[in-house]
A = this chain, B = another copy of it.
């Protein structure tokens, strides 16, 4: 149950409409909590019904008209509660590692190309994060907010670094592998 809290956080950072939220989920927030616009609109409806957010008053909030939301005190309180509450880490699910393990049994035929593709994707993502770091966290700015946000970005950078290295290593191993590994 984290999507509503992701939305509350985003709205506290800046009141937004559904589409604006969607864009921000595609950029920064989605790096560790992705969501489609359909999910977001549905959740905005629920949050409004619960009194956690409200639509900013506009002229004519009809279908096809932009509608912005802001967080109400109850929403902020809920987010605060949720943030402080103990939570067990949710189980990871990683398809690529699963496929590697399957490849150990049914053979590596065909997987190598996809590893290379993933390597490229992770390199690209890493470059993007490093760009953001350079732009948004120049040395010197170190308010509490900046430090926390930088910490989160560092996690993203280090995770992407890990994946690029692991994939590169995996591809090296593949190069050394004997031809037939079925069975």
Contacts and interface: CB of A to CB of B under 8 A. Distances in A.
Interface of A: 2, 5-6, 8-9, 12-13, 29-34, 76, 79-80, 82-87, 89-111, 113-114, 117-118, 121, 144-145, 147-149, 151-152, 154-156, 158-159, 162, 165-166, 169-170, 173, 177-178, 181
Contacts of A86: 113-114, 117
A82 B5 CA distance: 35
Given A162-B162, A178-B144, A106 B80 contact: yes
10 contacts: A33-B93, A80-B106, A80-B109, A82-B99, A89-B121, A103-B148, A144-B178, A151-B170, A151-B173, A158-B166
A152 B110 CA distance: 18
Query: Which residue, of A12, A13, A32, A156, has the highest number of chain B Cβ atoms within 10 A?
Result: A32
Copies of this subunit: 2
Nearest to A103: B83
A83 B106 contact: yes
Contact of A101 (B29, B80, B84): B29
Contacts of A109: 80, 84
A73 B170 CA distance: 28
A155 B97 contact: yes
A114 B82 CA distance: 12
B79 A89 contact: no
A110 B84 contact: yes
A92 B125 CA distance: 13
A170 B150 CA distance: 10
A89 B96 contact: yes
Nearest to A158: B162
A105 B11 CA distance: 10
Contacts of A170: 151
